[in-house]
Amino acid sequence: MSWPIVKLHDICRPRQRKTIAASSLLDSGYSVYGANGKIGYYSEFTHEFPTLMITCRGATCGNVHISEPRSYINGNAMAIDDIDPLIVDLKYLYYFFLKRGFEDVISGSAQPQITGQGLTKVEIPLPPLEEQKRIAAILDKADAIRQKRQQAIELADEFLRSVFLDMFGDPVTNLKGWEVESLSSLIHVQGGYAFKSADFGTEGIPVVKIGNANKKGFTAESIDFVQPTHPEKLKQYELFSGDLLMSLTGTVGKDDYGNITEVTEEYNKYYLNQRVAKISIKSKKINKEYLKYCLSHQAMKNELIKNNRGVRQANISNSDIYQLVVPVPELNDQDFFCDIVKNIEKQKNRLEGFYVESNELFASLSAELFS
């Protein structure tokens, strides 16, 4: 049975509010939603009830969220106002948006954006309200499964951070009194090659950029490729599975640089792009897993970025990394920690497999229910 198709503007009123400056955000109050979820608190709210919103500016343009009750939705997100709950179920519309996406609505190249005018082209299949609620309930259950599996992966990561702290303590205050050394005596830092935009294509050797080595971990999605004329000249920039990387450039005041990631095995070989550094161990006093978690500790990261250069764009140099002083525990202790990491990583791999399956189930259900 076919459902009537309606225009988005016929069932709601997309609207942008005033954007609250970061300096005006508070430590408590009503939740404020920005371009990609909650960003802080404010003394006022724009929406008394849970409200659907679409990110309308920046790299996450097109993401969809539902606010908490009594929240402020600022101008970086388009609030979907004036939905009649007797005609449209909020969760049904949310899941439809997730399936549909907004690639055909996003405009702008340097700064992607979604406008109210752009949303006029969005059409929605609108079954009876009870059918909307049934579809939303099914997808709620499928979504809950994948969220639980994602949480299990995050708990595994949190467990390893707790084990590190319990075994070795805060690497900056070093209250356990370990011997300390500067990283210049323990590691080698290799910067990336300055590939040109014209070098990139869709075939060849993948190139790791900052976007592939971020806070959430290494990703080979949306990766570019090169076909070098003289590959022998790029030997020092080759990367392989297991190599440690650090992002060297980000935004002042944001946690988007100085992050440690590990190259994964989607491809046999990669090349290293500029503003990402490969960190190789040259001393037998330290092992990779210990170094990875030591440099990932927030206190150590704060030490690294406290002297960042730039007004808006923050930069880390090789010398900044070399000058860091780190504890060097007994190698037996480091190796024991390494064994724990390997065991937990095996479990994480299984969980990640289940998570992929749950995402596929969710996508399949969405396609079937909205077809």
pLDDT tens digits, 242-265: 999 999 998 887 788 999 999 999
Do 318 and 253 share a structural domain? yes
pLDDT at 266: 94
Do 294 and 260 share a structural domain? yes
Token pair recorded at residue 46: 């724009």
pLDDT at 233: 95
pLDDT at 64 over 60: yes
Do 241 and 134 share a structural domain? no
pLDDT at 2 over 90: no
Domain boundary pick from 90, 105, 126: 126
Report how many domains make up the chain. 3
Do 194 and 113 share a structural domain? no
pLDDT at 343 over 90: yes
Do 299 and 204 share a structural domain? yes
Amino acid 107 reads: S
Specify the pTM: 0.79
pLDDT at 333 over 60: yes
User: Rounded distance, CA 164 to CA 187, Å?
Assistant: 20
Do 320 and 207 share a structural domain? yes
Do 183 and 315 share a structural domain? yes
pLDDT at 36: 83
Per residue in 97-128, pLDDT tens? 999 999 999 988 678 899 999 999 999 999 99
**Dihedral pair phi/psi, residue 76, rounded to 5°:** -85, 0
The three state secondary structure string of 305-346 is: HCCCECCCEEECCHHHHHCCEEECCCHHHHHHHHHHHHHHHH
**Which residue range is the domain that position 223 belongs to?**
179-328
Domain boundary pick from 126, 141, 158: 126
Token pair recorded at residue 342: 């390997």
Do 226 and 208 share a structural domain? yes
Do 143 and 245 share a structural domain? no
pLDDT at 254: 79
Do 85 and 12 share a structural domain? yes
pLDDT at 310 over 90: no
pLDDT at 44 over 60: yes
CATH of the domain at 358: 1.10.287
Nearest by Cα to 305 from 252, 355, 358, 348: 252
CATH of the domain at 239: 3.90.220.20
User: Rounded distance, CA 99 to CA 96, Å?
Assistant: 5
pLDDT at 350: 94
Domain boundary pick from 126, 144, 160: 126
Judged by average pLDDT, the poorest of 207-211, 218-222, 233-237 is 218-222
Do 185 and 324 share a structural domain? yes
Do 122 and 68 share a structural domain? yes
Side-by-side strand order, sheet with 37-42 = 37-42, 30-34, 72-73
pLDDT at 253: 77
User: Rounded distance, CA 89 to CA 188, Å?
Assistant: 57
pLDDT at 307 over 90: no
pLDDT at 1 over 60: no
